Amino acid sequence: MNAKFAFLLAADAMLVLHVLVILFVIFGLFFTIVGKLVPWSWVRNPWFRLVHLITIAVVAVQSWLGQVCPLTTWEMALREQAGDQVYAGSFISHWLEAVFFYNAPDWVFIVSYTGFGLLVLVSWFWVRPNPFRRH
């Protein structure tokens, strides 16, 4: 395996990880709400809920500070190491970028992330997580 291929593979893996984080944030809230209605006890897992809340909080704070997500930064660095253009590489990166990443003014993302974060926070009180247990 040559170095260029290894860097491109790592960049695609980073992109897939980024998409999985996005899906976790989106579907975490969806499943929490559905889990209250169904009811699913696993949506009250305090670790799941805490990681979910922290994840969207980090995203929102990064947007307020004008910072790019580290996953994006690492992916771009890997693509650069491979001598590839940003998002011009593989089929995976092309389509995942087209589906999940949009060009819009920064304020759109700040409002969206903050609003979604507030929904996750409200869900914390509407669908109360179980208490953390000491073993």
Domain that holds residue 62: 3-126
For residue 29, is it within any domain? yes
Stretch 88-107: mean pLDDT:
62
Number of domains in the chain: 1
For residue 135, is it within any domain? no
User: What pLDDT score does 91 carry?
Assistant: 46
For residue 27, is it within any domain? yes
pTM of structure? 0.82
Average pLDDT, the chain: 87
For residue 132, is it within any domain? no
Span 71-87, pLDDT tens digits: 888 988 998 888 866 55
Span 18-57, pLDDT tens digits: 889 999 999 999 999 999 999 999 999 999 999 999 999 9
Closest by alpha carbon to 21, among 104, 111, 96? 96
For residue 52, is it within any domain? yes
Report yes or no: 79 and 86 within 8 Å, Cβ to Cβ: yes
More confident residue, 73 or 118: 118
